[in-house]
């Protein structure tokens, strides 16, 4: 109802079972909004199941380099592009949809977002951006700052340079650059350097709204 383009269901830091992910994907379908699931890890054996439930894409955390990015993406693509298994599942109307068309559509349309938040991923970010399966290079600010040895210091020149490098790598490969936001005030500056794919947390939204409401009730 607020007009967002998609919802990220966070199975890395959130406490979700495959059943609750499926229930939320169904709720997203009913609301007319795309569901992207953040996997617990790059090598998670749950990724294909999230897509079988009807998820529209996967956000992979803690990518360690180009080889890891390639391996992670292979879990969401059907052969010959990857190794995802084909079954009669909710996403293909339990096998009643033409499977050849389903495979082609899924391989073309399923979003692959790769988080650049480790030293290995940052070192190979241009190679990761060049992967045909990569759609979004996504910065996880907490882990990226931690990887740089400056946890939470988002104004540090090393962190700023890393964020700019990710944006440049994505732009150079014709991919989208994404990032997790702490507040909406960050958006204009990030737009200027090329970021287009933004997320924030439900907690940030609730806190911002709650503080605004409380401020409106403050006494002079």
Active site residues: 13
Would you say 50 and 39 are in contact if contact means Cβ atoms under 8 Å apart?
A: yes
Dihedral pair phi/psi, residue 193, rounded to 5°: -100, 5
Burial class of 14 by CB neighbour count within 10 A (0 to 12, 13 to 18, 19+):
middle
H helical segments located in 88-201: 99-109, 119-123, 125-129, 141-147, 157-172, 187-192
Beta strand 111-116 with 57-60: parallel, antiparallel or unpaired? Answer: parallel
Q: What angle do CA 87, 88, 89 make, to 5 degrees?
A: 100
User: How far, in Å, CA of 192 to CA of 195, rounded?
Assistant: 7
């Amino acid at each position: 109802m607020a007009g967002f383009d998609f919802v990220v269901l966070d199975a890395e830091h959130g406490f979700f079972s495959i059943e609750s992910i499926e229930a939320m994907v169904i709720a997203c379908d009913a609301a007319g909004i795309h569901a992207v699931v953040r996997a617990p890890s790059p090598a998670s054996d749950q990724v294909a199941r999230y897509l079988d439930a009807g998820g529209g894409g996967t956000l992979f955390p803690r990518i360690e380099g180009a080889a890891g990015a390639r391996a992670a993406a292979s879990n969401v693509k059907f052969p010959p592009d990857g190794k995802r298994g084909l079954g009669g599942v909710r996403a293909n109307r339990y096998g009643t949809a033409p499977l050849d068309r389903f495979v082609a559509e899924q391989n073309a349309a399923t979003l692959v977002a790769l988080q650049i938040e480790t030293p290995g991923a940052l070192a190979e970010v241009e190679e990761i951006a060049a992967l045909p399966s990569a759609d979004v290079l996504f910065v996880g600010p907490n882990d990226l700052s931690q990887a740089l040895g400056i946890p939470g210091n988002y104004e540090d020149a090393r962190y700023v340079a890393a964020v700019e490098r990710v944006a440049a790598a994505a732009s150079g490969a014709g991919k989208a650059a994404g990032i997790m936001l702490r507040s909406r005030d960050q958006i204009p500056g990030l737009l200027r350097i090329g970021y287009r794919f933004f997320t924030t947390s439900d907690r940030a939204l609730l806190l911002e709204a709650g503080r605004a409401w409380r401020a409106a009730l403050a006494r002079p």
